[in-house]
A and B are shown apart, each in its own frame.
Chain A
Amino acid sequence: MKRSNRFAHVLSVFAIGCLLSLGAIGTATADWLEVPTEKFKLADIPEIKNKRPIHIALFGGTKQFDIEIPKFIKKFEDKTGIKVTHEKMIMTSIYPKMNVELMSGSGAYDLIVMETSTTCEWAPYLWDVRELAAKFEPDGVAGLERDLAGHDPALLRTTQDRDGKLRGIPYWNYEQVLYHRLDCFEDPIEKANFKKKYGYDLRVPVTRKQLYDTAEFFTRKAGEKLKGEVLKKDLYGVALMAGRFEINDEISSMIWGAGGHWATIVRDENGKAIEFVITKRDKRIQKEAIEHYVSLLKFASPGCLTGFWDFCCAQFVEGLAIMMPNLYLVVEDWTWQVEKKVPGAKKGMALCVGRQGYIGDFAECVAKASKNPEASYWFMKYLGGYEAQKQLMEGGFPGVRRDIMGNPMYQNDPKWKKPIGDRAYINSLALQVQNNYVGDYIHFNSSAMGKIYEMQIIELHNAAIKKYTPEECVKVITKKTMKLQKKFGQLPIREEK
């Protein structure tokens, strides 16, 4: 009896230990487990009373996306009997076009497409999603909340204004990650050569120094060797988007990753943002980030100076670049082709150096000028809902929902591991990190960010082409950020001298 008691005691301690361990693992990977949320699908859309046709704007970025979205539109039309017309827009035309239509209150679009750095700017012209839910959901706001519980909170934050009102529902996420040629990092010859040259082990970079060294190490001329084989073309350590398009996303990531900001938000005791300050620390980190970026350009193709994401990706896929230190997850489906095009190539993904890759998404938002906010609400919810997002994710896109990214099937089933599991893993990891910081970025707090964003592109590109020194660039950006925020923003801004 005593013995069995002791056994029972040991067993119970073991069981508690196991439970605690599982609990600890569970806590650590809680975001990986499928979140029990409402799996909203087309069939759940109730009868819509307002039968007026709706016109929507969508981001028309890739061929695959252009094929998938019209299918959802057709299904929505069939289910609701409401005609939906749509326009696809490229990134560069979204801001000017949507801005004019929203501000003029033309009502040309019932649903607009929003790149989330303009959330605060467009908030006055967009419906609060919860307000719409209260009007149109059979269960009121609770019905919406059940669906939102499955969305990624960091992405949801990007579609909130400063007052916490949700202005849209994300449907396409483009978190940045570090793409690399895993085969080169694992190659014994390369590892040995790297160790000999730099005195430490070759690894996927997690610090700026490692990124610089690795980029330098892999930059080679045609005729030199890679993995023991003679190169037919020049090889570059990195591919960068230094053209006048999205260079600021790369540098924002570098600034955030070093603990800096374009402008620091000052909050009151209730956590409400009251002003922006461009601190001395911010300026120092900005300068260092720009210096780092410009130094990396030595190891990038000259074509990078006018290159965008598509150029970088093409370079990587063709085996001309070893790393894309900050590139959007949305191109992940394309990057796999390197394994087909370059013999022996293996693609890898990791968090960007500093772990805070640029975050943002495209969201659909109901315009206040919409003549059919009811149908617009349901289409927005459907596109960001479980059913549509699952199809999009399985079609090759990074998800916006944790309840899909965290589906264990994608991790455990070999059939899904490569096409989706790895992407879902890195996406979820990156978003978890960003969830701690995203609320403090100027991008999601300034009503002038649409303009500041464009200004950053121009001035950072000027630094990349060496028109300015990094220090001059910081001065210009500071001056112009202040000017734009004062002119178009709502919160005051000042510079710490």
Chain B
Amino acid sequence: MSTHGNEVMAQPMAMVRDRTFLDVLGDDKYYKWVLLIPLLLVLLLFMLYPLFYCLWYSFHEFGMVKAATFLGLENYRDVLRDEEFWFALKRTGIVLVVSIGAELIIGMTVAVIFNREFKGQNPIRGLILLPLLMAPLAVSMMWNFFLQYDFGIVNLIFGLVGIPKVSWFAPGVGLYTIAAISIWQWTPFSIFVLLAGLKSLPRDSFEAARVDGATPWYTFRRLTLPNLAPLIMIIVLLRTMWLIRLFDPLYGTTRGGADSELLDWMIYRNTFVYFDIGIGSTLAIISLFMTVVVCAVLFRQLMKALAVTSA
């Protein structure tokens, strides 16, 4: 009996023992982790480790010469008291608002135009895409030549039509020129995202509006825009993240001069020019924090917009 009983008990145990590692991996419960673990390891190694390392340095004084010294929150206090930081932040905000605003307005206008059939539409759409395909640093250097005060093609054309030359990178102007370079390169992104949205809009609602005698402007305001809201939010979200890190247009032009230093350039300057790793890390953490906060707000708006359109 007892032997029999042992045999009965032994059977499920043997079944458990027989389960191979591959069986476990194949289990639905674990399979998702099998797929996720490589990615999580990569994230851990290349994102979280540097992030925490950066956070650690932000509490230290470190110039690569002597060992790091713990400072507590001193770097944060120094950065927040530094007027250059606030100027850089303000300039970054201006570039962000100007660029996103212009890209959305131009992008929407061109997308609406492109939404209609016209002769030569494919080559023109292809050409519009070109700035996006260029290396951002090459773009900034190209515009630096085009906008050069004495020899740049833009001022030469101005001269031919009797417009006085413009000092495009002068203080007070340079910041907007940098925003314009970014707008030039990234507007095609908005155009094509919005164009894809326009193409996928439900035709019946527009047909109904047309039958009801709605004006194009009314249709645009009440139908097109609300339907495109999630895409607009995606553009705003992505461009916000990219613009907070705007660097290349400065590298090829003012190098932060003429009152155009942005937050990312300030981080670069402190970290890789002064090699003040503590201050540089502090700035990077503050920049990251702001990006996360802004993007969280925008993400919530995106979710709301999606909820409205899907309803």
**Which residues of A come within 8 Å of B, CB atoms?**
92, 95-96, 99-100, 103, 243-245, 301-303, 305-306, 311, 314-315, 318, 320, 447, 451, 454-455, 458, 461, 465-467, 484, 487-488
What are 21 inter-chain pairs, A to B, with CB distance below 8 A?
A95-B273, A100-B64, A100-B272, A244-B254, A244-B256, A245-B257, A301-B149, A302-B149, A302-B167, A302-B170, A303-B149, A305-B171, A306-B174, A306-B257, A306-B258, A311-B150, A455-B274, A461-B257, A465-B170, A487-B63, A488-B275
CB pair A311 B170 closer than 8 Å? no
Segment 251-305 of B: residues with Cβ below 8 Å from A: 253-259, 269, 272-276
Which residues of the partner chain B approach A99 to less than 8 Å between Cβ atoms? 64, 275
Say whether, besides A103-B64, A311-B148, A306 and B169 are in contact (CB < 8 Å): yes
User: Which residue of A95, A245, A320, A487 contacts B255 across the interface (Cβ within 8 Å)?
Assistant: A245
Which residues of the partner chain A approach B253 to less than 8 Å between Cβ atoms? 306
Closest to B149 in A: A303
Which residues of the partner chain A approach B148 to less than 8 Å between Cβ atoms? 303, 311
Which residues of the partner chain B approach A466 to less than 8 Å between Cβ atoms? 171
Say whether, besides A465-B171, A467-B259, A306 and B254 are in contact (CB < 8 Å): yes
Say whether, besides A306-B254, A311-B148, A488-B65, A465 and B274 are in contact (CB < 8 Å): no
Kindly state the separation between the CA atoms of A301 and B222 in the bound complex, as whole angstroms: 52
Closest to B177 in A: A306
The answer, yes or no, to whether B151 is at the interface (CB within 8 Å) is: yes
CB pair A244 B257 closer than 8 Å? yes
Segment 149-191 of B: residues with Cβ below 8 Å from A: 149-151, 165, 167, 169-171, 174
Beyond A243-B255, A303-B150: 15 further Cβ-contacts under 8 Å? A96-B273, A244-B254, A301-B150, A302-B167, A303-B167, A305-B170, A305-B171, A306-B254, A311-B150, A314-B151, A318-B150, A451-B273, A465-B171, A467-B259, A488-B63
CB pair A465 B258 closer than 8 Å? yes
Min CB distance, A375 to chain B, in Å? Answer: 28
Segment 42-66 of B: residues with Cβ below 8 Å from A: 61, 63-65
User: Which residue of A245, A315, A318, A451 contacts B275 across the interface (Cβ within 8 Å)?
Assistant: A451
Which residues of the partner chain A approach B275 to less than 8 Å between Cβ atoms? 96, 99, 451, 488
CB pair B167 A305 closer than 8 Å? yes
Kindly state the separation between the CA atoms of A103 and B64 in the bound complex, as whole angstroms: 7
Closest to B166 in A: A302
Which residues of the partner chain A approach B63 to less than 8 Å between Cβ atoms? 487-488
Q: Main secondary structure on chain B at its contact with chain A?
A: loop
Which residues of the partner chain B approach A100 to less than 8 Å between Cβ atoms? 64, 272
Kindly state the separation between the CA atoms of A484 and B174 in the bound complex, as whole angstroms: 29
Range of interface residues on chain B?
Answer: 20 to 34
CB pair A243 B272 closer than 8 Å? no
Kindly state the separation between the CA atoms of A318 and B151 in the bound complex, as whole angstroms: 10
Q: Closest 7 interchain pairs by CB?
A: A244-B257, A303-B149, A302-B167, A306-B169, A96-B272, A103-B64, A465-B171
Closest to B272 in A: A96
Closest to B250 in A: A244
Min CB distance, B240 to chain A, in Å? Answer: 27
Closest to A484 in B: B274
Min CB distance, B138 to chain A, in Å? Answer: 14
Kindly state the separation between the CA atoms of A470 and B197 in the bound complex, as whole angstroms: 55
Kindly state the separation between the CA atoms of A243 and B61 in the bound complex, as whole angstroms: 31
Min CB distance, B142 to chain A, in Å? Answer: 15
User: Which residue of A103, A305, A318 contacts B258 across the interface (Cβ within 8 Å)?
Assistant: A305
Kindly state the separation between the CA atoms of A311 and B152 in the bound complex, as whole angstroms: 11
Closest to A304 in B: B149
Which residues of the partner chain B approach A92 to less than 8 Å between Cβ atoms? 255
Kindly state the separation between the CA atoms of A354 and B264 in the bound complex, as whole angstroms: 39
Say whether, besides A301-B149, A314-B151, A487-B276, A243 and B256 are in contact (CB < 8 Å): no
Say whether, besides A244-B255, A465-B171, A487-B63, A454 and B149 are in contact (CB < 8 Å): no
CB pair B256 A458 closer than 8 Å? yes
Which residues of the partner chain B approach A465 to less than 8 Å between Cβ atoms? 170-171, 257-259
Which residues of the partner chain B approach A245 to less than 8 Å between Cβ atoms? 255, 257
User: Which residue of B151, B165, B174, B274 contacts A451 across the interface (Cβ within 8 Å)?
Assistant: B274
Min CB distance, A75 to chain B, in Å? Answer: 33
Kindly state the separation between the CA atoms of A100 and B275 in the bound complex, as whole angstroms: 9
Kindly state the separation between the CA atoms of A103 and B66 in the bound complex, as whole angstroms: 11
Which residues of the partner chain A approach B64 to less than 8 Å between Cβ atoms? 99-100, 103
Kindly state the separation between the CA atoms of A25 and B151 in the bound complex, as whole angstroms: 48
Which of B150, B169, B170, B269 gathers most chain A CB within 10 Å?
Answer: B150
Which residues of the partner chain B approach A95 to less than 8 Å between Cβ atoms? 273
User: Which residue of B61, B150, B256 contacts A320 across the interface (Cβ within 8 Å)?
Assistant: B150
Kindly state the separation between the CA atoms of A315 and B152 in the bound complex, as whole angstroms: 12
Min CB distance, A474 to chain B, in Å? Answer: 18
Kindly state the separation between the CA atoms of A488 and B167 in the bound complex, as whole angstroms: 38
Min CB distance, A360 to chain B, in Å? Answer: 18
Min CB distance, B261 to chain A, in Å? Answer: 8
Kindly state the separation between the CA atoms of A458 and B258 in the bound complex, as whole angstroms: 10
Kindly state the separation between the CA atoms of A305 and B171 in the bound complex, as whole angstroms: 9
Kindly state the separation between the CA atoms of A92 and B251 in the bound complex, as whole angstroms: 10
Which of B254, B255, B256, B269 gathers most chain A CB within 10 Å?
Answer: B255
Closest to A121 in B: B65
Min CB distance, A380 to chain B, in Å? Answer: 25
Kindly state the separation between the CA atoms of A245 and B256 in the bound complex, as whole angstroms: 10
Say whether, besides A305-B258, A320-B150, A488-B65, A467 and B274 are in contact (CB < 8 Å): no
Closest to A247 in B: B257
Min CB distance, A461 to chain B, in Å? Answer: 5
Which of A96, A100, A315, A484 gathers most chain B CB within 10 Å?
Answer: A96
Min CB distance, A306 to chain B, in Å? Answer: 4
Which of A99, A311, A458, A466 gathers most chain B CB within 10 Å?
Answer: A458
User: Which residue of B169, B170, B171 contacts A467 across the interface (Cβ within 8 Å)?
Assistant: B171
Which residues of the partner chain A approach B259 to less than 8 Å between Cβ atoms? 465, 467
Min CB distance, B236 to chain A, in Å? Answer: 31
Which residues of the partner chain B approach A244 to less than 8 Å between Cβ atoms? 254-258
Segment 124-163 of B: residues with Cβ below 8 Å from A: 148-151
Closest to B152 in A: A303
Which residues of the partner chain A approach B274 to less than 8 Å between Cβ atoms? 451, 454-455, 484
User: Which residue of B65, B254, B269, B273 contacts A243 across the interface (Cβ within 8 Å)?
Assistant: B254
Kindly state the separation between the CA atoms of A258 and B171 in the bound complex, as whole angstroms: 30
Which residues of the partner chain B approach A455 to less than 8 Å between Cβ atoms? 274
Closest to B275 in A: A99
Which residues of the partner chain A approach B258 to less than 8 Å between Cβ atoms? 244, 305-306, 461, 465
Closest to A447 in B: B65
Kindly state the separation between the CA atoms of A284 and B173 in the bound complex, as whole angstroms: 33
Closest to A236 in B: B150
Min CB distance, B152 to chain A, in Å? Answer: 9
Kindly state the separation between the CA atoms of A183 and B108 in the bound complex, as whole angstroms: 58
Min CB distance, A61 to chain B, in Å? Answer: 16
Min CB distance, B210 to chain A, in Å? Answer: 53
Closest to A455 in B: B274
Which residues of the partner chain B approach A320 to less than 8 Å between Cβ atoms? 150
Which residues of the partner chain B approach A458 to less than 8 Å between Cβ atoms? 256-257, 269
